[in-house]
Structure 1
Amino acid sequence: MTQDQAPQGNRASTVLGRRLGGELCKLRVAAGLTQTQAAKALNASTGKVAKMESGWVPMRDPDIRALCELYGAKDPQATQHLLTLAATDRDRRKALGWWNQYPELRSLVEYVALEDVATSVRTWQLAFVPGLFQTPDYARALAVGSATWEDPDEIERFVEAKVARQSRLKGESPLRIWAIVGEGALRQLVGGRDVMRVQLDHLVRTAQLPNVKLQVLPCLAGAHPGMTSAFNIVSFAESGAMDVVYMDTTSSTLWLESEKDAAHHRTLFDRIARLSLAQHDSRALIESIRKEM
């Protein structure tokens, strides 16, 4: 499912909203009912049910209970699971996080909102240093090099927002992050040698945080299963919020929200990790590349 959708008024399709709508849709289909029949039970329009199943509107507890009864979902725990998802989704929709100040984040907005409430992230990056580890100069050079920005002020605001994200690495409940970076990304002269030297120093210091695990996939590893795309696996503490896979391409943002997709990418990540250097050896390689700069 591509997620480059724009908000519709005060509505937006959210990850948890789509997850909740998807589960209700499965129950409806299993019961052999149509959206029109579901709408009749709610005394609502078919369009509203369609929006609910696509995650475009927050769901009320009475509607969820009514649909569960209509669909023959008799397990109280299953119904409670859906109610918990709905409550969490409603809370997230109402939250006004710091990221709302930065329209320059564009398609990253929903990801940053998820990152803010996540407990852990596993990220595989082939072409550049992960955003949570980037220095301002490195982030600025990436933005300039992408050739998608026309206003220098927008670039500065984008850099400011990316730096603000890094507060999740510290504090009372810091984000746990396991990052694997391709060696080529560390040798790419983003911004020039001076910028890269500072970036690599920062990377080594960040890797020493207790909640950060950093590995480097060396070029000598040869062909590997992560060559086709980078991705993030985002995990949450609350019940029912299964792992979400996020992929950002040059033309769109992709969210993979099924357990099958999550399991596939967890396996993929583990395979890349086994081919990568241990943490100590990864830091040694980063320091070696830094000296070459």
Structure 2
Amino acid sequence: MRDPDIRVLCEFYGVTDADAVNGLLDLARLDRERRKAKGWWQQMPMVGGFGEYIAMEEVSTRIRTWQPALVPGLLQTPEYIRALGVTSNWSHPDEIEALVTSRVKRQARLRGEQPMELHAVLWEAALRHQVGSAQVMRAQLDHLMEMARLPHVHVQVLPFLAGRHHGAKGSFSILSFAEPGALDVSYAEAIGSTLWAEGADANAAYATVFEQVSRLSLAPRDSVNLIDAIRKGV
């Protein structure tokens, strides 16, 4: 929907609050950008219909992600990805390789002259949950430590000893954008469905949970030490 149309509708329905109007304009602009975004993901079969998320990820400047069970996709090795595919519903080799290719291409956002900022918080269970062979898992933990040394990649581990936390309901990611005043977008996966949160209140709820698990987590240096200790025990 065009901005003039939104302003007319706001006037018609008596919406005069500037913040509310600007919020609607931001949502509409974000939706237009999402619809016209074109990239490599449109040229290949996308496992699980993940194209919409990738389109948003491609134009984001910062991602905060909470992962209680698995290493985040942007930090996974190809072997780890293949092992996930084998143990999931992607039984056909072509589907698994499509998953590997798309995920590796996404990881290019963490390289280059203007890399995206990534703040990943993982529950300790994600590190101890063996995906594939012991060799695959050791290589994955090595890669995680290597990526954590990059200045724009911040990895924290929420240890079991931290106790109760509000992130137990599932994983999610919060995407931020460069445009002044642009609203964050939160994305969560459920069984058989996905959830997009684009309103200010909904995103604030996800941001609050992320800040809580981040505060409870180990500092980045201590997180790397824990990852290394777990790697040595695999």
**TM-score, scaled relative to structure 2:** 0.90
Distance 2:22 2:219 in 1: 42
Determine if contact 2:26/2:182 at 8 Å carries over to the other structure.
Answer: no
Give the equivalent residue in structure 1 for 2:63: 121
1:135 aligns with 2:77: yes
2:118 to 161, 170, 177: 177
Give the equivalent residue in structure 2 for 1:202: 143
Compute the displacement of 1:143 (Å).
1.5
Determine if contact 1:125/1:230 at 8 Å carries over to the other structure.
Answer: yes
Higher relative contact order (CA 8 A, sep 6+): 2
1:251 aligns with 2:192: yes
Distance 2:26 2:216 in 1: 39
Compute the displacement of 1:75 (Å).
7.7
5+ residue gaps, structure 2: none
Distance 1:196 1:105 in 2: 23
Determine if contact 1:85/1:240 at 8 Å carries over to the other structure.
Answer: no
1:268 aligns with 2:183: no
Deviations 1:25-82 (A, max 9, x none): xxxxxxxxxxxxxxxxxxxxxxxxxxxxxxxxxx234533543443456688976775
Matches within 5 A, 1:1-293: 59-72=1-14, 86-87=28-29, 89-146=31-88, 148-293=89-234
Instruction: Give the partner amino acid of 1:235.
Output: S
Deviations 1:103-147 (A, max 9, x none): 32333211111111111111110100000000001011111111x
Determine if contact 1:81/1:239 at 8 Å carries over to the other structure.
Answer: no
Please state whether the residue corresponding to 1:106 is helix, strand or coil: coil
5+ residue gaps, structure 1: 1-58
Determine if contact 1:64/1:83 at 8 Å carries over to the other structure.
Answer: yes
Bigger CA radius of gyration: 1
Judging changes above 3 Å, is the alpha-carbon distance between structure 1 residues 218 and 84 closer, same or farther for their aligned structure 2 residues? Answer: closer
Among all aligned residue pairs of Structure 1 and Structure 2, give the percentage whose two residues are the same amino acid: 54
Instruction: Give the partner amino acid of 1:102.
Output: M
Compute the displacement of 1:160 (Å).
0.6
Distance 2:19 2:209 in 1: 32
Give the equivalent residue in structure 2 for 1:15: none
Alignment: residue pair count: 234
Judging changes above 3 Å, is the alpha-carbon distance between structure 1 residues 220 and 74 closer, same or farther for their aligned structure 2 residues? Answer: closer
Judging changes above 3 Å, is the alpha-carbon distance between structure 1 residues 85 and 183 closer, same or farther for their aligned structure 2 residues? Answer: closer
Please state whether the residue corresponding to 1:96 is helix, strand or coil: coil
Distance 2:122 2:152 in 1: 17
Distance 2:42 2:148 in 1: 29
Please state whether the residue corresponding to 1:206 is helix, strand or coil: helix
Please state whether the residue corresponding to 1:237 is helix, strand or coil: coil
Judging changes above 3 Å, is the alpha-carbon distance between structure 1 residues 80 and 163 closer, same or farther for their aligned structure 2 residues? Answer: same
Determine if contact 2:37/2:55 at 8 Å carries over to the other structure.
Answer: no
Judging changes above 3 Å, is the alpha-carbon distance between structure 1 residues 79 and 227 closer, same or farther for their aligned structure 2 residues? Answer: closer
Instruction: Give the partner amino acid of 2:100.
Output: V
CA RMSD of aligned residues (A): 2.2
Instruction: Give the partner amino acid of 2:144.
Output: L
Compute the displacement of 1:84 (Å).
6.2
Compute the displacement of 1:95 (Å).
2.4
